[in-house]
Structure 1
Amino acid sequence: MTIAGSIILIMLGAILTWAVEFDLAGLDINVVGVILMLGGLAGLAFGIYRINVTRRAVGPIDEPVHRHDIYEEPETRRTSVYEERRHYDEPTL
C-alpha cells in the first residue's frame, strides 16, 4: 500500500465516522470508518518504514568518485595499411 492510498483510507474513514449519518441494518458506519482509519494508519506507518529501510540500504557514499575511476580513455588502435602496386607489361583496357 502506498502512502497516498493510506491517506485516502484515513480520509474515507474520517468521513464515514464523523460526516455520514446513515444507518444500515446490522452494520455500523462509524465502526467501518474507524476500521478504515486504523488500516490507513497501519499502511502509512508501513510505507514510511519501507522508505526508511530502502534509503538505509543504499547508504551514503563515503569517498568521492573521480572521473578517472569511472571512465578510462580507450586504447588507440593503430592499423597499418599496405598498398601494393603491380606493374604489368600489358596496358589496361
Structure 2
Amino acid sequence: MGYGFGGFLVVVGLVLALAVTDSISGVDLTMVGWIMTLVGVVILALTAISLNRTRGAHSVATTTHSDGTQSVSERRTEI
C-alpha cells in the first residue's frame, strides 16, 4: 500500500468529513469520511514502521597486518 495510498485516503476522507454537505439516502458521508481518514492514518503509520524496520547499522573495518596484507571485515546490525 504505502504512503501514497494512505495519503490519498486521508485527503479524500477529510474532504468527505469536512467539506461535503450533500447526502445519500442511508449513507452518512461525514462518518464515511472520518473512517477513511482513520484508515489512511493507520496505513501511513504501518508503512512508516515497516520501512523503518529494514534499516540498520552498517560498518566496514580495514585491518593492516604487520606483513603488509589487509583484511576487510563488514558488520551489519538490524534494528
TM-score class, shorter-chain normalisation, is 0.7 to 0.9
How far did residue 69 of structure 1 move? Answer: 5.9
Percentage of pairs with the same residue: 29
Matched residue, 2:60:
63
In 2 relative to 1, CA 65–14 (structure 1 residues): closer, same or farther, beyond 3 Å?
farther
Segments of structure 2 that go 5 or more residues without pairing to the other structure are: 64-69, 73-79
Q: Normalized against structure 2, the TM-score is what?
A: 0.73
Number of aligned residue pairs: give it: 66
* RMSD (Å) for aligned C-alpha atoms: 1.9
Matched residue, 2:38:
38
In 2 relative to 1, CA 65–49 (structure 1 residues): closer, same or farther, beyond 3 Å?
farther
Q: Normalized against structure 1, the TM-score is what?
A: 0.63
Q: For 1:47 and 1:65, locate their aligned partners in 2 and report how far apart those are by CA, in whole Å.
A: 36
Q: Secondary structure at the match of 2:60?
A: coil
Larger radius of gyration: 1
Alignment of 1:1-93 (within 5 A): 1-55=1-55, 59-64=56-61
Q: For 1:16 and 1:65, locate their aligned partners in 2 and report how far apart those are by CA, in whole Å.
A: 58
Superposed CA offset, 1:28-77 (max 9, x none):
0000000000000000000000111111xxx22222469x768xxxxxxx
**2:16 partner amino acid:** L
